[in-house]
């Protein structure tokens, strides 16, 4: 029972939501099956973890059908019905939390009944509710278009009350901001992983976003900035314009939109750092701290482990090991349970490495598992290489690098540009090891000069630092 779709869905509900769901289940309008209500009553004692060993299908069935022989098909039917109710409950919750959306749904029902009086008043109230909100994000313009469309449709063809320009502008703002956000996400993904991208009209869309009145609309301008920094890495002025605009117009993006925008901002910083612009290391760290300050990670059910891992790394890159240590211990319980051990121990290993405890680093890495995330697996291998290098175990390290090269070469998720950055890093690591085994100052100086002018390979700073030591 613990592994069922119903249980997985019910885990998504908070304690307060689960209690309200109970009222929903007991409503005869939505449910008149007493056995479905009984199933809810059995499960509510185990929410939210549902981890009890007693929670078997047989046990649940015996509580609903006491004294009856176990029939799995009956329990599956009840579970399916309760799952459907849970989905309807969330839909109802969402409608109730948004006055404009619920009013528009009601308006549609009234118009079907050919009502003019109540629907007209409701539409005026809906517009007033929308205008009173501080929010001016993408969803706002979509709702505004809907209201303007309904207003224009309800007026007579022979009146000057119809305003098609406002309706068209609202739709265009929604379309531009959504299209630019979609394209920025696509370009951002393309910089990391292989992706099919066919966008023949993107230039005309970007040009429209630069025209009046659209370029003055904050949500359009913000998404235009994201598009520019993902398509043209050198356009860093748009990066800082986005930061400024997001601070000056805090209601132009929803929390979810701002959260997702940080994926792009952070990747931009990573690419800049890889190209040799070290100032972005501090910028990246500030972005992470801003996300924590604004509690953006609470939008997820669990703390995203990629962010958790990267926050630790960024703190260490900026010499803030104390912050990294506190962050690990304060937030590890928020990680998704199946990934918690892997990410926590990788992060602890990183702190050990920063404190030059190389045995502790290797011991921590040994407690990580086989998480399937590609960048997690790369991070584990990178830290093993650094730790074994510092310990001087060069023969084993050369073997480790050789297997790492095969892993990169055969991996189908990484695009050619990323593979090239890692292959150059691994080749440089091999050269570095051979220089430590057989010191040659002139060779070290030559490699250092060559790699100093080579931007964009993985772990560049560490390689240059160690080559600098070998050239002294």
Condensed to tens digits (0 to 9), the pLDDT of residues 167-223 reads: 999 999 999 999 999 999 888 876 554 455 556 678 889 999 999 999 999 999 999
- Overall average pLDDT of the 309-322 stretch: 93
| Spatial separation of the C-alpha atoms in residues 385 and 459, rounded to whole Å | 11
- Overall average pLDDT of the 274-299 stretch: 92
Please name which of 296, 285, 355, 363 lies closest in space to residue 321, comparing C-alpha atoms: 355
- Indicate whether 307 belongs to any domain: yes
Q: Domain range spanning residue 258?
A: 134-295
Same domain for 64 and 103, yes or no, is no
Range 99-108 contact pairs with CB under 8 angstroms and sequence separation of 24 or more: 99/126, 99/129, 100/126, 100/129, 100/130, 100/143, 101/143, 103/129, 104/143, 104/146, 104/147, 104/150, 107/150
Same domain for 364 and 460, yes or no, is no
Helix axis angle, 374-391 to 394-410, nearest 10°? 160
The residue out of 114, 132, 150 marking a domain boundary is: 132
pLDDT at 146 exceeding the cut of 80 = yes
Determine the pLDDT at residue 190. 67
- Overall average pLDDT of the 142-163 stretch: 78
Q: Tell me the β-bridge partners of 303.
A: 335
Number of domains in the chain: 5
Give 222-267 as a DSSP string.
Answer: HHHHHHHHHH-TT-HHHHHHHHHHHHH-TTSS-HHHHHHHHHHHHH
Same domain for 189 and 280, yes or no, is yes
pLDDT above 90 coverage of the chain, percent: 62
Determine the pLDDT at residue 194. 47
- Indicate whether 209 belongs to any domain: yes
Same domain for 111 and 183, yes or no, is no
Please say whether the beta carbons of 82 and 89 come within 8 A: no
- Indicate whether 278 belongs to any domain: yes
- Indicate whether 156 belongs to any domain: yes
Query: How far are the Cα atoms of 30, 108, 463 from residue 105, in angstroms, in the given order?
Result: 19, 5, 60
Same domain for 316 and 350, yes or no, is yes
Determine the pLDDT at residue 155. 62
The residue out of 78, 97, 116 marking a domain boundary is: 97
| Spatial separation of the C-alpha atoms in residues 197 and 183, rounded to whole Å | 9
Lowest-pLDDT range, 39-48, 190-199, 424-433, 454-463?
190-199
Burial readout 273-301 (b: 16 or more C-beta within 10 A, e: otherwise):
bbeeeeebbebbbebbebbeeeebbeeee
- Indicate whether 403 belongs to any domain: yes
Please name which of 394, 358, 360, 387 lies closest in space to residue 462, comparing C-alpha atoms: 387
Dihedral angle of Cα 187, 191, 194, 195, to the nearest 10 degrees: 0
Report residue 397: phi and psi, to 5°: -65, -40
Contacts with 206 (C-beta within 8 Å, 6 or more apart), sequence order? 180, 224, 227
Question: ω before 292 within 30° of 0 (cis)?
Answer: no
Same domain for 275 and 204, yes or no, is yes
Q: How confident is the model at residue 356 (pLDDT cuts 50, 70, 90)?
A: very high
Please name which of 11, 200, 157, 24 lies closest in space to residue 95, comparing C-alpha atoms: 24
- Indicate whether 270 belongs to any domain: yes
Contacts with 285 (C-beta within 8 Å, 6 or more apart), sequence order? 314, 315, 317, 318, 320
pLDDT at 372 exceeding the cut of 50 = yes
Q: Which residue has the tokens 């630069």?
A: 210
Q: How confident is the model at residue 289 (pLDDT cuts 50, 70, 90)?
A: very high
Global pTM? 0.73
pLDDT above 70 coverage of the chain, percent: 95
Same domain for 237 and 333, yes or no, is no
Same domain for 172 and 249, yes or no, is yes
Same domain for 336 and 418, yes or no, is no
Please name which of 40, 33, 43, 30 lies closest in space to residue 88, comparing C-alpha atoms: 30
Q: How confident is the model at residue 437 (pLDDT cuts 50, 70, 90)?
A: confident
Please say whether the beta carbons of 470 and 436 come within 8 A: yes
Q: Which residue has the tokens 């869309």?
A: 205
Q: How confident is the model at residue 311 (pLDDT cuts 50, 70, 90)?
A: very high
- Indicate whether 386 belongs to any domain: no
Same domain for 204 and 313, yes or no, is no
- Overall average pLDDT of the 15-43 stretch: 96
Determine the pLDDT at residue 217. 97
Please say whether the beta carbons of 103 and 125 come within 8 A: yes
- Indicate whether 385 belongs to any domain: no
Q: How confident is the model at residue 470 (pLDDT cuts 50, 70, 90)?
A: confident
Same domain for 62 and 166, yes or no, is no
Same domain for 203 and 235, yes or no, is yes
């Amino acid at each position: 029972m613990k592994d069922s779709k119903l249980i997985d869905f019910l885990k998504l509900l908070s304690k307060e939501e689960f209690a309200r769901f109970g009222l929903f289940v007991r409503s005869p309008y939505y449910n008149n099956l007493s056995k479905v209500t009984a199933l809810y009553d059995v499960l509510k004692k185990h929410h939210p973890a549902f981890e009890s060993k007693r929670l078997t299908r047989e046990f649940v069935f015996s509580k609903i059908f006491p004294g009856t022989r176990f029939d799995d098909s009956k329990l599956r039917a009840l579970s399916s019905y309760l799952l459907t109710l849970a989905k309807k409950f969330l839909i109802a919750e969402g409608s109730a939390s948004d006055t404009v959306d619920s009013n528009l749904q009601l308006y549609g029902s009234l118009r079907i009944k050919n009502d003019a009086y109540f629907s007209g008043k409701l539409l005026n109230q809906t517009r007033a509710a929308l205008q009173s909100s501080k929010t001016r994000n993408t969803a706002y313009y979509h709702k505004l278009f809907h209201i303007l469309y309904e207003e224009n449709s309800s007026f007579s063809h022979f009146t000057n009350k119809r305003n098609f320009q406002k309706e068209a502008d609202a739709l265009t703002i929604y379309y531009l901001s959504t299209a630019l956000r979609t394209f920025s996400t696509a370009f951002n993904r393309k910089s990391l992983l292989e992706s099919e991208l066919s966008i023949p009209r993107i230039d005309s869309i970007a040009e429209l976003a630069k025209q009046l009145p659209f370029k003055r609309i904050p949500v359009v301008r913000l998404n235009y900035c994201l598009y520019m920094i993902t398509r043209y890495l050198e356009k860093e002025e748009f990066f800082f314009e986005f930061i400024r605009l997001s601070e000056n117009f805090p209601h132009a993006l929803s929390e979810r939109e701002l959260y997702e925008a940080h994926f792009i901002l952070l990747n931009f910083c990573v690419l800049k750092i890889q190209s040799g612009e070290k100032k972005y290391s501090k910028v990246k760290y500030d972005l992470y701290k801003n996300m924590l300050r604004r509690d953006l990670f609470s939008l997820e059910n669990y703390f995203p482990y990629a962010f958790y891992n990267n926050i630790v790394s960024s703190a260490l890159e900026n010499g803030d090991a104390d912050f990294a240590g506190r962050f690990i211990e304060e937030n590890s319980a928020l990680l998704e349970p199946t990934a918690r051990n892997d990410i926590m121990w990788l992060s602890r290993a990183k702190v050990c490495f920063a404190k030059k405890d190389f045995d502790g680093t290797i011991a921590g890495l040994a407690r990580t598992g086989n998480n399937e995330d590609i960048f997690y697996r790369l991070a584990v291998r990178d830290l093993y290489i650094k730790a074994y290098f510092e310990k001087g175990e060069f023969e084993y390290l050369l073997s480790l690098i050789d297997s790492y090269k095969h892993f990169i070469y055969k991996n189908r998720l990484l695009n050619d540009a990323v593979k090239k950055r890692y292959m150059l890093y691994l080749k440089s690591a091999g050269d570095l090891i051979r220089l430590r085994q057989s010191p040659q100052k002139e060779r070290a100086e030559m490699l250092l000069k060559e790699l100093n002018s080579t931007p964009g390979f993985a772990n560049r700073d560490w390689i240059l630092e160690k080559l600098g030591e070998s050239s002294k």
